[in-house]
Chain A
């Protein structure tokens, strides 16, 4: 075989081998990473639904746990500066509707608390329980 063909074949092999391997490996890694994140998110959601179910929630509802500091108390609303609520909200100050069972009237402004939210997602959650942190 002429040398130039040998060189061409060699370069094609290197290019295809390295490129294909990198592309497939890199692409596969990204795909696996995405799959992992999706499965993890699904697992966390199922865990939250299970915890909500144990406490008497309706089908499809989830339960989240958060920690924060009470900033304002209203008859139906509690303003809390909270840390990230995994799967629901980033760290910020949020107003949550409070269920009667939560006894939020006992809290005072400035109290650090742990609290539990129940609902189907952002915009549709209610604070069901709280305790001192």
Chain B
């Protein structure tokens, strides 16, 4: 069924592109003045009529197969009710209906014909056909991936521009090849009509290809997003294949452009031969473009790379993390020789572009110098990578997962690595310090691979068969918090303006039987002061908070209090005077304490100030820093309110 869908989509896309391009070339060439050129125009019109019918037929097959896939059963393809439902009750179906309505109008318009001997009528007829065909083509974007994965209209608009560019450039190649072939058969000289058409098309094609490149890059950044997505997913592989075919087509286009002066040159015999050669090149280009359209159709059947898990194909990856905490000067000194080589290469390249003599030799030398610099300098920036290096964790970064991960870690890992309380060294000398920057710089996917497959050379067993996939991801969530809690640059008692780096693990806020919320629900709206308390030691601080809750609330802070253990009586235990009006959790307390107390081990009472974006910005603990009074907390809150540029929202998953 998928193969039939692909075939229908590819044929439909190609037909729509070719019809659009055919009328564009006719408009660019203008009304044909001589009989041979009029015959060419009639051939193009005849082909366009057939192509519209092919587009309608393949579109019908596409809708029928889509209906079967949408309903999840093959016989739905033959049910009128199911097809009607798919056409009228789904957005892609509505788009399909409008598009095919336009194609039917176009078919009727082409089949009825009309007198176009007057120039104005000719332009009106060809222009109308082009507009109808182009509309039917660009509306494909309204039900494409870009429209589906973004609420903004810009991705759809860019996709439409890309489709129009494809229609104009790719669709115009076959009629242009035919025109030049007919023109080349004139032994005297190619008709000026054909030469003018080729020149105009060439100029417009250059602009169109630049627009295609720009819109393609914009769409790829939305749907592919990264190098990992490009090389590690089916969608990315198809895009790479598409780019490869496009490069070949552009090489031929460049060769044609180089032949253009000879087409209108004084040597008429040579001009005819040139026209024939150009016709051949353009025909090959058109063939490559048809392959390209097939690849584009296949891409629509794959999941966009940004939504999939890339499988990294190489044993290493480039990592600039090593440069993060090394002074720039020191880096430059270390990369001295490589930078000199690369710099020399760029200088030679600049000279080569300015002078004409020995240009190719100088360009070659420039590339050798740049490549040498890269070959020497890049290996130091390479780190070991695995197929799951860029895998996206299926488990979100939340307290429940971290608590579960800590339990798994304590049961399986402490015999070789550290215990979760700070200060204890690894019991085995060979085990990696899991709090180190080395581990912090590993991606979540790389940690997942190492846990699953182990490191036999270091004596680490594989846990793939002992732990479930979810358990391994829970351990990785725990390791992220474990490392962050040990970071020497960690959060202090004072908010550092414009320095938000520690995402607060999400958790559920359950207060009795009320509808639970999550910490994430406050993002973009209110700050949160998370209070981990324990009675009776915390009584004074809780009373202070209850008294000043109104003032904090006005400043945009919600206080969330968590006792050590889950208790339905948590609110009553805090007393009635003063009344405690902020949320006091009655469920899930153990997981939240297990997670957040990693930052404050040993403290009876701890408070975390979490900003509106979801980052922890200040931590107070009763055993070391002391718990601030309401005025001191308000001062830190005001610092956050004065931040001009809020940081970007943290991802729900670790990386």
Chain A residues within CB distance 8 Å of chain B = 2-4, 6-8, 10-11, 14, 18, 67-69, 71-73, 79, 81-83, 91, 93, 108-112, 133
CB <8 Å contact, B581 and A3 = no
Closest residue of A by beta carbon distance from B112:
A6
Interface with A: B118-126, B172-180, B300-308, B397-405, which one?
Answer: B118-126
State whether A72 and B576 are in contact (beta carbons under 8 Å apart), knowing that A3-B125, A7-B128, A110-B570 are contacts in the complex: yes
> How far is the CB of A133 from the nearest CB of chain B, in Å?
6
CB <8 Å contact, B127 and A79 = no
> How far is the CB of A15 from the nearest CB of chain B, in Å?
11
Closest residue of A by beta carbon distance from B125:
A3
Cβ 8 A contact of B515, one of A18, A71, A83:
A83
Q: List 30 A-B contacts (CB under 8 A).
A: A2-B121, A3-B115, A3-B116, A3-B124, A3-B125, A4-B120, A6-B124, A7-B124, A7-B125, A7-B128, A8-B124, A10-B109, A11-B131, A14-B105, A18-B98, A67-B514, A69-B512, A69-B514, A71-B571, A71-B580, A71-B581, A72-B581, A73-B576, A81-B583, A83-B515, A109-B571, A110-B512, A110-B569, A110-B570, A112-B512
At the interface, yes or no: B32 with Cβ under 8 Å from chain A?
A: no
State whether A79 and B514 are in contact (beta carbons under 8 Å apart), knowing that A3-B114, A73-B576 are contacts in the complex: no
Contacts of B568 in A (CB 8 A): 110
CB <8 Å contact, B571 and A10 = no
Closest residue of A by beta carbon distance from B570:
A110
CB <8 Å contact, B576 and A81 = no
State whether A93 and B576 are in contact (beta carbons under 8 Å apart), knowing that A68-B514, A81-B514, A110-B570 are contacts in the complex: no
How far does the alpha carbon of A133 sit from the alpha carbon of B513 in the complex, in Å? Answer: 8
Cβ 8 A contact of A110, one of B115, B125, B572:
B572
At the interface, yes or no: B394 with Cβ under 8 Å from chain A?
A: no
State whether A81 and B572 are in contact (beta carbons under 8 Å apart), knowing that A3-B116, A10-B105 are contacts in the complex: no
Closest residue of B by beta carbon distance from A73:
B576
How far does the alpha carbon of A109 sit from the alpha carbon of B576 in the complex, in Å? Answer: 6
Cβ 8 A contact of A93, one of B98, B512, B575, B581:
B581
At the interface, yes or no: B140 with Cβ under 8 Å from chain A?
A: no
Not counting A3-B114, A67-B513, a sample of 7 additional A-B residue pairs whose C-beta atoms are within 8 angstroms of each other reads A2-B121, A7-B127, A11-B128, A69-B514, A71-B581, A109-B572, A110-B573
Closest residue of B by beta carbon distance from A133:
B513
Closest residue of A by beta carbon distance from B122:
A3
At the interface, yes or no: B311 with Cβ under 8 Å from chain A?
A: no
Cβ 8 A contact of B571, one of A2, A6, A18, A110:
A110
How far does the alpha carbon of A2 sit from the alpha carbon of B109 in the complex, in Å? Answer: 14
How far does the alpha carbon of A67 sit from the alpha carbon of B512 in the complex, in Å? Answer: 11
Contacts of A81 in B (CB 8 A): 511, 514, 581, 583
Closest residue of A by beta carbon distance from B580:
A71
Closest residue of B by beta carbon distance from A68:
B514
At the interface, yes or no: B602 with Cβ under 8 Å from chain A?
A: no
Contacts of A72 in B (CB 8 A): 576, 579, 581
How far does the alpha carbon of A100 sit from the alpha carbon of B371 in the complex, in Å? Answer: 88
How far does the alpha carbon of A91 sit from the alpha carbon of B570 in the complex, in Å? Answer: 21
Closest residue of A by beta carbon distance from B118:
A2
How far does the alpha carbon of A7 sit from the alpha carbon of B114 in the complex, in Å? Answer: 11
How far does the alpha carbon of A11 sit from the alpha carbon of B124 in the complex, in Å? Answer: 11
How far does the alpha carbon of A62 sit from the alpha carbon of B123 in the complex, in Å? Answer: 70
Contacts of B513 in A (CB 8 A): 67, 112, 133
How far does the alpha carbon of A13 sit from the alpha carbon of B581 in the complex, in Å? Answer: 64
> How far is the CB of A71 from the nearest CB of chain B, in Å?
5
Contacts of A71 in B (CB 8 A): 571, 579-581
Contacts of A6 in B (CB 8 A): 114, 124
Cβ 8 A contact of A79, one of B122, B131, B581:
B581
Contacts of B571 in A (CB 8 A): 69, 71, 109-110
How far does the alpha carbon of A18 sit from the alpha carbon of B573 in the complex, in Å? Answer: 66
Interface centre among A4, A83, A93 (most CB of B within 10 A): A4
Interface residues of B in 507-551 (CB under 8 A from A): 511-515
Q: Mark B561-579, 1 if CB is under 8 A from A, else 0.
A: 0000000111111011001
> How far is the CB of B142 from the nearest CB of chain A, in Å?
13
Interface residues of B in 486-517 (CB under 8 A from A): 511-515
Contacts of A108 in B (CB 8 A): 572
Contacts of A110 in B (CB 8 A): 512, 568-573
Interface centre among B122, B512, B568, B580 (most CB of A within 10 A): B512
How far does the alpha carbon of A82 sit from the alpha carbon of B583 in the complex, in Å? Answer: 11
How far does the alpha carbon of A11 sit from the alpha carbon of B513 in the complex, in Å? Answer: 61
How far does the alpha carbon of A84 sit from the alpha carbon of B258 in the complex, in Å? Answer: 72
